[in-house]
Amino acid sequence: MVRSPARLAFAAVMLTAGAASALPQFAIRSARACDTCHVAPDGWNDPDVALRKCSLNCNACHVSPTGGGMRTEGGLYYGRQTLPTWGTRPADEAYRAVELGAAAPQGQPASQPSSQPSGQPASQPSSQPASQPEGAESQPGPRGPVPGPGTAARYAGIEPHPTFQLGLDGRMLYYVPFAEEQDVAVFPMQADISLALRPFNPKGLNEGRLTLLLNGGFRGSRGEKFDAFHERAFVREWYAMYHDLPNQLYVRGGRFLPPHGWRTEDHTPFVRQGQLILGQPFDFERQVTGVEVGINPNYLYAHLSVFNAADQWDEPIDPDGGYGTALAVGWRDLAWHLGGSAIYGRRDGDDQIAYSAQWAANLEVAGWLPFSLIYLGEFHFNHLLPETGRSSLGLSAFHEFDYLVLRGLNAKLRYDWFDSDVDVEFDTGHRGTLALEWHVYTYAEIQASYRHNWTNNEERFDSGADEFFVQLHGWY
């Protein structure tokens, strides 16, 4: 049945209320203080925008400029110093050593490091220091000489851009479906190993460097579709990237996940798995083979890629997979983020365009609340234009609130919605999620989530499709 314009308008209005599953809360939450990502930035002059390395974009914590996978020195520092409830905090140890070796000025007690809210932002406006230009000298700060940019001391001993780097990600899932026909399951959800080699690796910043990255692992599944353990092994992505240039310009070529929407930790939101993009769900395993260029001068970010949408990792070039291009542009400010992205492609003679808007707000940094509360959202359109037959438009969205209960413990409330075809009635899906994410110790996280799923108003109080799961996450 075809829906009336009034029904479609009502559905669009309803999308603006609610809450989603996303890791980007780390990026906007880190705006509360500079020392979430490196030691406190006291005592140096603000460089030109083109030379700044401070950013709230994905590349601040991940080697991939569009997020996910191996961490940079900033991401490792964040994971040790800011994220966990317990564990050795490298900056605290470094500051303590400095303070024991020097008396506090004018008899005042030495200042203590903190990665809790302060008046110092993370990606500063022009009146605040962001990062020194290459070659600038260290200035004296309240804890002694300020570590120079691009040095291990800036990250309390974590070496930036090592010539060889190893990264790990592992997840175990305990899954309890409420549906009678499904069984409780315990299975490995993720087991990734990332390797990076930098054959061209200058010591200075903004001189350009070459990174070769390989991310392999093992597929997790609660089914029995793999006959042997070795059949689970695969290569998720590989690419060569030339980066660390002025304005954080980069270019990469190989197999990677193109930029589109929020890069979520959970691969099951409807904006990723509810609808197909060039033949596959656009989750964390939807890698393509192509080239990409991007830029991120402090607040602004932009990524553009062209690719062959080959489905299988062991056949990276497949003419039958179709071809496409992806564009993501936006602005990540201290209190808010706003971005848009689009993918256009052609496969099997059919055209498709998927586009979305993403947004976020840090209600604490904005001055609206005295505690840490993050709001994230995305509205996604998926327009399929087949060579023959009827075209279709699918919609999906999510909203999410993240409340920092205490250091390391995040409470999440989220709402997901999708409509696979706006011209067809009774094909919507809804999901409400309540979750606790606890980074208990350095590199160790526990997640517990309850998800309520329903497909129409008559079933919105039915728990037969609900799910509960506990996830153990370890990374390095």
Neighbours of 77 (CB within 10 A): 28
Q: Smallest Cα–Cα separation from 438: which of 137, 49, 87, 151?
A: 87
* Cα distances (Å, whole numbers) of residue 193 to 124, 234, 285, 436, 474: 34, 11, 15, 26, 12
Dihedral over Cα of 325, 286, 20, 428: its sign: positive
pTM of model > 0.75:
yes
Spell out the per-residue pLDDT of the chain, length 476, in tens.
334 333 333 233 333 333 333 368 788 887 667 777 788 766 667 788 888 888 888 888 899 999 888 999 999 999 999 999 999 888 877 666 555 554 334 433 333 343 333 333 334 433 333 344 444 444 555 555 677 778 888 888 899 999 999 999 999 999 999 988 888 999 888 889 999 999 999 999 999 999 999 999 876 665 556 566 666 788 989 999 999 999 999 999 999 999 998 988 777 889 988 778 888 888 878 899 999 999 999 899 999 999 999 988 889 999 888 899 999 999 999 999 999 999 999 988 899 999 999 999 999 888 888 889 999 999 999 999 998 889 999 999 999 999 999 999 999 999 999 998 999 888 899 999 999 999 999 999 999 999 999 998 778 888 889 999 999 999 98
Tokens linked to 307: 């690719």
**Who contacts 135 (Cβ-Cβ below 8 Å, separation ≥6)?**
204
CA atoms within 13 A on the CB side of 136: 25
3-state secondary structure of 231: helix
The per-residue pLDDT for 172 is 93
Structure tokens at 198: 């930098």
Q: Which H or E element spans position 7? A: helix 5-14
Q: If you count them, how many residues does the chain have?
A: 476
Superfamily (CATH H level) for 5-20+163-192+244-249+265-475: Porin (2.40.160.10)
Query: Which H or E run includes 174?
Result: strand 164-177
